[in-house]
Amino acid sequence: MLALWLACASPEPSEGDLVWGEDWVLDLGASDPLASHRPEGASCEEQAISNEYDGVEISTADCSYAQLVQELRVDVAAGQRARIVAWHQELVAEEEAQAHLAVLIGSTVIWEQMPGIPSLAQSWDEELELPVDAAAGERVTLHLHNHGSNTWTLQSLSLVP
């Protein structure tokens, strides 16, 4: 029985993880660094956010605009390399639109994608150079706005060893 429990147990964050899937918190408050992107009438229900594949999944059926936040887990320096793994399922909507997925440290966008809607499923497994120095505890924001009923996942953001 113990072997089965260990096989199903959620892994713990590693020392290079900048964020952790279970730590994201929905925050639609005034501290939104991309508030100018928020469409009028946008909303997000708590049930639209879930942990998936050690990351976070957002279902836009109940969340047309999301700002998820957590604290940076480790100190980072400008120029350090990081790896991001994210994806979306097929994007569908009655009207054409453009989605926006972004990750910020403080008020600095460190990575973003702006796929058109409709579009096929897409994934990203990319290395990026961090543009800012930041101390552990700095605010990290996951921003998503989307038109239609779609699913997005940020699996990981970690330092490249």
Residue 8 lies in a domain: no
Domain-located, residue 67: yes
- Whether residue 2 is contained in a domain is answered as no
The whole domain housing 52 covers: 16-159
Percent helix, strand, coil in the chain (nearest 5)?
10, 45, 45
Q: Would 121 be classed as within a structural domain?
A: yes
Q: What domain count does the chain have?
A: 1
In this structure, is residue 154 part of a structural domain?
A: yes
pLDDT of residue 108: 97
Structure token pair of residue 79: 């120029």
Distance of alpha carbon 32 from alpha carbon 25, whole angstroms: 13
Whether 44 is covered by a domain: the verdict is: yes
The CATH number assigned to the domain holding 83 equals 2.60.120
- For 98-148, the pLDDT digits (tens) are 999 999 999 999 999 999 999 999 999 999 999 999 999 999 999 999 877
Tokens representing 100 are 């926006």
Which residues are bridge partners to 150 per DSSP? none
* Contact indicator for 87, 122 with CB cutoff of 8 Å: yes
Q: Is residue 79 part of a domain?
A: yes
- Banded model confidence at residue 13, pLDDT cuts 50, 70, 90: low
- 9 is a domain residue: no
pTM recorded for the entire structure: 0.89
Nearest-angstrom CA–CA distance, 64 and 58 = 10
Distance from C-alpha of 123 to C-alpha of 85, rounded to nearest angstrom = 8
Q: Identify the CA nearest to 44 among candidates 22, 25, 16.
A: 25
Give residue-wise pLDDT tens across range 69-86: 999 999 999 999 999 999
